[in-house]
Chain A
Amino acid sequence: LAIICTSSCLTLFPQQNLVNAMQSNVKNIFDSFNDYLVKDQELRTEIRDIVRDIDQAAKEAAIALQVIHSSIADVSAACATARERFETCRTGYQKLADLIPQGQYYRYNDHWHYMTQRIVFLIALTIYLEKGFLVTRDTAAEVLGLHVNQKDGFHLDIEDYLVGILQLASELSRYAVNSVILGDYEKPLTISKFVADLNSGFRLLNLKNDSLRKRFDALKYDVKKIEEIVYDISIRGLRAEGAPVPAVAAATAPVAAEAPE
């Protein structure tokens, strides 16, 4: 059927030159669309290679940091190892920044945003273990050699940063459990205070119904878990006196009220 019609169109059509003109233009459009796609693919392949290298370094840092769950003494060594790996990530990000054309960050963003979230988490964990406070976005960007402001070029996206921080909370709930196992009864209290602060920080944000929001909704379970650990410790009198219980209790989730009871 199609063949018959094609041939009849060819023979019956009166204005042959108009057809040719149209043909060349549509073909021209699709040819340049193909060129565009090929170039796009090439760039994406290059990006993927670099991302794989950074990912590898991040994985090594994550492995090094796992030791915190089994040994208190090795924490500072683990942090030092992680920091070395961050240097590798930094060079990787430098390569990416050179590769991505200006103003097209969000065009290729999908290749690295999961990875960036994980790296931000690792940095936040390292800095928490070392100094005990929350890494700011500026510092995290500085460690990775990224800009903070979008206008300056390759930057640390704010949502990637925030998701990374949320991952920190769930890792800390695990850390709290394990530090009790290892006999450190003070750690859960400081962690509880820290996560409560984080929680109230996130409450200041107006989140849309997106992936960040979904991730934030899981935070309350981490908070709850940590509060329970604090409760278990307090009720058995395992902790030293003078711990900041009121601050913890006032913090957030309804469960918090259990602590002073």
Chain B
Amino acid sequence: MSGNRGSKRQYFGKGGGRRGKDNESVVSCAQVDENNPIIQCFRGYAAELDAKHDRYERIVKCGRDITIESKRIIFLLHTIDPRKNNQQKVCDEAKARLENICCNHFAAIAKELQGQDPYQYARAYTNGMQEFIEAFTFYEYSSGQDISHWDVIQKKLQYNATKEHNDGELFAKNDENEEPRDDNVAAEASVGDGKEPTNATTMCLLQPLDFTLGLGDLSGEIMRKCINSLGSGNAESCFEHCRFLQELYTGFLSVISPRSRDFSHKMITLRQSLLKSENVCYNVTVRGGEAAKWGTTEDSSAAQLQFHSSKDDDDEGVFF
């Protein structure tokens, strides 16, 4: 109490707290004693912290670029329309752009991560990574391929660093290559692959959790596709999409206690998407493709409405 009064009195004496503070910082800058061992230590710590923060920010920036470009690719993939027969063309373009992300943006992150503990910076690009996974798997789904295992994508995110290698980097390389093996021993494919690039690669770590969350996002896109194909009169493919969503939902249900809050959130969204597309299938079955498209009945109009409202809530608003 008395301390408060004391400091107030002192501010008045200096003619305002603001100026007092400025003076004080000037004084402390001027009088930093360079010979003081504490100061010397802290100079080192400051440099280290700055380096860390800068690296983090650079990675965040790359991650944002990846997010934007991935959203555009998803938008592009939604333009596939069987009536225009443009599937091949759109998929080719999407593939090129996805590869471009791999070669440029992720390579930039991998370069930043070189010799670092990738988990330290994982949070800086986790959103970009999830969006990329969404775009990539959506591309695979749209072009009629199977969804890749995360090992396959992880392999795409490994780069040969032939240009710049010295001892320090080689050493770091070994650290990082430990990871795919440790994480994915369960996956048969990875055992052979993980050991292969032991000497001259950098990589951008893909965490399985990010991959799974990306798959969760994919469900929203599939749901849109399902409803779109109803609109374009391609009613049979609705069942295909719905079926896939059911697979995804089953997969998500089977996951035991993930350490992530996002995960349960994704589950709820996924369930909504699933119900919507099941509703579509139901209407197609009962009324035939034409009737469901008009949206005259209670059920299908409700499904359409739900679809629109959820777009406002939780989606990125790139589509439409």
Evaluate contact between B256 and A37: CB separation under 8 angstroms: yes
A1 adjacent to B279 (CB under 8 Å): yes
Specify which of B24, B118, B255 lies most central, judged by the most chain A CB atoms within 10 Å of its CB: B24
Question: In the complex where A204-B42, A254-B11 touch, is A158 in contact with B49 (Cβ < 8 A)?
Answer: yes
For the complex, is B179 an interface residue (Cβ under 8 Å from A)? yes
User: Which A247-261 residues sit within 8 Å CB-CB of chain B?
Assistant: 250-255, 257-258
| Interface pair A200/B32, CB less than 8 Å apart | yes
Q: Which residue of B lies closest to A208 (CB)?
A: B53
* B11–A34 CB distance below 8 A: no
B281's partner among A5, A34, A37 (CB-CB below 8 A) is A5
* B38 and A103 contact, CB distance less than 8 A: no
Q: Is A177 an interface residue (CB 8 A)?
A: no
Enumerate A138-163 residues with CB–CB distance to B below 8 Å. Answer: 150-151, 158-159, 161-162
Most buried by B among A4, A33, A136, A201: A33
The answer to whether A252 touches B28, judged by C-beta atoms less than 8 angstroms apart, is yes
Query: Which residue of A21, A23, A26, A250 contacts B27 across the interface (Cβ within 8 Å)?
Result: A250
Q: Is B162 close to A, CB under 8 A? A: no
Q: How far is the CA of A58 from the CA of B212 in the complex (A)?
A: 39
Chain A interface bracket (under 10, 10 to 19, 20 to 34, 35 or more)? 35 or more
From the candidates B14, B149, B247, name the one contacting A23 in the complex (CB within 8 A).
B247
* Contact code string A190-220 (vs B, CB < 8 Å = 1, else 0): 0000000110111111111000000000000
Within 8 A of A (CB), among B120-158: 120, 122, 146-147, 149-150
Given known contacts A32-B186, A36-B184, A36-B186, A206 and B53 CB-to-CB distance under 8 angstroms: yes
Question: How many Å from the CB of B283 to the closest CB on chain A?
Answer: 10
Decide yes or no whether A181 CB sits under 8 A from chain B.
no
A114 at interface (Cβ–Cβ under 8 A)?
A: no
Contact A33 B255 (CB under 8 A): yes
Interface of B is mostly: helix
On whether A201 and B117 interact (CB within 8 A), knowing A12-B285, A27-B247, A37-B258, the answer reads no
Which of A62-70, A81-89, A104-112, A237-245 is found at the contact surface with chain B?
Answer: A104-112
CB < 8 Å neighbour of A258 from B10, B38, B172, B248: B10
Contact assessment for A106 and B3 in the assembled complex, using a CB-CB cutoff below 8 Å: no
Closest Cβ of chain A: how far from B95's Cβ, in Å?
Answer: 19
B242 within 8 A of A: yes
Residues in B neighbouring A31, C-beta threshold 8 A: 186, 254
Asked whether any CB of chain A lies closer than 8 Å to the CB of B85, the reply is: no
CA distance A176 to B250 in the complex (A): 62
B318 proximal to A (CB < 8 A):
no
| Contact for B28 among A39, A200, A208, CB less than 8 A | A200
Q: How far is the CA of A205 from the CA of B254 in the complex (A)?
A: 47
Residues of B within 8 A of A15 (CB): 240
Nearest chain A CB to B222 CB, angstrom units: 12
A12–B36 Cα gap in the complex (Å)? 81
1-47 of chain A: CB within 8 A of chain B: 1-2, 4-6, 8-9, 12-15, 19, 21-23, 25-41
Indicate if B116 sits at the interface (CB-CB under 8 A): yes
Picked from A29, A38, A103, A204, the residue with its CB within 8 Å of the CB of B178 is: A103
Q: Pick 26 A–B contacts, CB within 8 A, sort by A.
A: A1-B278, A4-B285, A8-B282, A13-B240, A19-B243, A22-B147, A25-B147, A29-B150, A30-B255, A39-B186, A102-B174, A103-B176, A105-B119, A106-B120, A151-B172, A158-B48, A158-B49, A161-B45, A198-B38, A201-B39, A201-B42, A204-B42, A228-B3, A254-B7, A254-B10, A257-B10
B-side residues, CB < 8 A to A, are 3, 6-7, 10-11, 14, 17, 20-21, 24, 27-28, 31-33, 36-39, 41-43, 45-46, 48-50, 52-53, 115-120, 122, 146-147, 149-150, 168, 171-172, 174-176, 178-179, 182-187, 208, 211-212, 215, 236, 239-240, 242-244, 246-248, 250-252, 254-259, 275, 278-279, 281-282, 285
Q: Which 5 A-B pairs have the closest CB atoms?
A: A35-B186, A30-B251, A201-B42, A103-B175, A106-B119
